[in-house]
Amino acid sequence: MTRVGIIPPPITITADDKRLKAGKPAPDPFLAAKCLRYDAPTCVVFERGCGKWSYRSRRLHQPERSKIANCGAHYIVENMESVTCEVEGNKLRFTVSASILT
């Protein structure tokens, strides 16, 4: 991060962190929230896909949409251009303008 001019946060937890004993859906990935003293239910999670499944093309076809929806997603978007974020006091308000979740 410092190489590209970004000041690293005091705590970082990545996929190869030795503290992570198991991946999703185990609670281990939420270790970052705990280390930062945030309650996991108040955190926002952005996923590229469902479990180990990922898509190769930009456009999702109906079978892939249902796989993601069955993982408990609240919203599914084609890309992040459909998501905006505004700061309201000490909170963030996310708006999804075009969800493809059926």
What are the extents of the domains in the chain? 61-102
pTM of the model: 0.51
Mean pLDDT value of segment 1-19: 81
Q: Which residue has the tokens 């479990």?
A: 51
User: What pLDDT is recorded for position 51?
Assistant: 45
Residue positions counted in the chain: 102
User: Residue 84 pairs with which residues in a beta bridge?
Assistant: 95
CA separation (Å) from 86 to 2, 62, 89, 90, 95? Answer: 27, 31, 10, 11, 8
- In 3-state terms, what secondary structure has residue 92? strand
Q: Please state, rounded to an integer, the average pLDDT across all residues of the chain.
A: 73
pLDDT at 89 over 70: yes
